[in-house]
A and B are shown apart, each in its own frame.
Chain A
Amino acid sequence: MRIRVNPIDCKAHGVCAEMLPEWIELDEWGYPILDGEELPEQLMAHARRAARACPTLAIVLEGGGR
């Protein structure tokens, strides 16, 4: 599963970093920094929850057991 942020939709709410701290951390302005595009399998469920929780639906998930 590939995870990306749509940087135009992202408004730095930071909920994704709360839900997926293993893969996402926030820069000093509150915007997410991802640890890479290919997610390890054990994080997929958390990633889906993080994508659902984003207030602007800026997390984009592609491929993988969706």
Chain B
Amino acid sequence: MSVVAASAFSSNPLWYTTRSTGVVAFVLLTLSFAFGLAATKRGLASRHWPRFATQALHRNVSLLALAFLVVHIFTTLADSYVHVGWWAWIVPGASGYRTVWTAFGTLAFDLVVILIVTSLLREHMSAALWRAIHWAAYVAWPFAFLHFLGTGTDAAHGRWGIYLDALALIFLGVAAGLRWLTSDEPSGPLRSVQRTVR
């Protein structure tokens, strides 16, 4: 293990900020993804919890995640302790430090920005285009997961990082499974009549 990684014990406040905001951003992105999945299910809505509430949570949690991401990136770049190139926040692979794992983070950030900007401008583009771009969420989150795995789960710091990463993966796996494998079709006494012709 490199000297740099083993020195994750540094008491540098920038380093602590970068690590903590990174974790929070990851948790928020995970929650945002879950809310996004939940917002598509008609069956989850009720009079007391309308869908626009889930939609609003998805939106606000995403924006909050972005805020934490910005701080995370800024403190990483400002911290001279690890050598992450100034372009690494947008160009994957520009970091000298843990190049591949950081690149995943860069990619995740790039995609999150695209997802958020296109969503803010949704009314000015075709609904089909917005939808097609939003599929990128299924790529962005795994990149974030991998980034966390490769840069945030040092064994020397305790195993909680790995547990958190794994927990998030299981959580979203279940959520996505529920979203894709359950049906929203209404059932009712007249289904037999409705089906007769087909």
Direct contact of A and B (CB under 8 A): yes
Contact B52 A28 (CB under 8 A): no
Given A30-B186, A53-B52, A57-B127, also A14-B122 (CB < 8 A): no
Contact B127 A18 (CB under 8 A): no
**How many B residues touch A, CB cutoff 8 Å?**
13
Per the bound structure, the CA–CA distance linking A55 and B134 in Å amounts to 12
Q: Mark A11-49, 1 if CB is under 8 A from B, else 0.
A: 011110011000000001110000000000000000000
Would you give the shortest CB distance from A5 to chain B, in whole angstroms?
A: 14
In chain A, what residue has the closest Cβ to B188? A28
- Which of A12, A18, A28 contacts B45 (CB under 8 A)? A18
Q: Mark B10-43, 1 if CB is under 8 A from A, else 0.
A: 0000000000000000000000000000011010
Residues of A near B55 (CB, < 8 A) are 15, 53
What residues of chain B have their CB less than 8 Å away from a CB belonging to chain A?
Answer: 39-40, 42, 45, 50-52, 55, 122-123, 127, 186, 188
